[in-house]
Amino acid sequence: MPDVQPQVRVRPLDELDIGRITEIDERITGIYRPEVWERRVGYYLRRDPDSSQVAEVEGRVVGFMLGDVRAGEFGIESPSGWIERFGIDPDFRGRDIGRQLFEAILRHFRGCGTGAVRTLVDDRDAAVAGFLGALGFTPSSLKALEMQIAQPPPEPR
């Protein structure tokens, strides 16, 4: 008998996905941080719910990709699609769910008239960098830079 895997359904994010997104993040990072996801999902829902997608298998959310369309950032005046966060439940990896999420978001970004999709990746995270490369992302001339800011010592009491 061939192994028939249940179908993946990709749909826009909604407010009832917060619990499962929190769980997926917890499975990946080992940290339970519902406040972070309440804030982030609230942000993306008020921006545009169609710019963020989740993947369901048998009615259970197993992956998510959060993004939005912005213009005027870093001198880029034309609207760009930005992908900020994504995660796939470790039990459901290797089933092309990330690509399906990305394609759904890409379709929406196209409909919004965006000319590019942008994201940031930590070079040290080879798995994520590899995934994004497989999707077609290439290094941008726009480089992420950072500088650590030392906190002043506390005032003596």
What is the closest distance, in whole angstroms, from the C-beta atom of residue 49 to another protein in the complex? 4
Coil/strand/helix, residue 117 = strand
Q: How far is CA 59 from CA 6, 38, 40, 44, 63, in A?
A: 10, 21, 22, 22, 12
Between 33 and 99, name the residue whose CB sits nearer to another protein: 33
Helix (DSSP H) and strand (DSSP E) numbers for the chain = 4, 5
Between 18 and 57, name the residue whose CB sits nearer to another protein: 18
What does the binding site for another protein look like in residue numbers (CB under 8 A)?
A: 12, 14-16, 18-19, 23, 26, 32, 34-35, 38, 41-42, 45-50, 70, 111-113
What is the closest distance, in whole angstroms, from the C-beta atom of residue 155 to another protein in the complex? 28
What is the closest distance, in whole angstroms, from the C-beta atom of residue 42 to another protein in the complex? 5
Residue type, 80: S
Between 70 and 85, name the residue whose CB sits nearer to another protein: 70
Q: Phi first, then psi: give them for residue 125, nearest 5 degrees.
A: -95, 85
The torsion angle over the Cα atoms of residues 15, 19, 25 and 31, rounded to 10 degrees, is 130
What is the closest distance, in whole angstroms, from the C-beta atom of residue 120 to another protein in the complex? 17
Between 23 and 103, name the residue whose CB sits nearer to another protein: 23
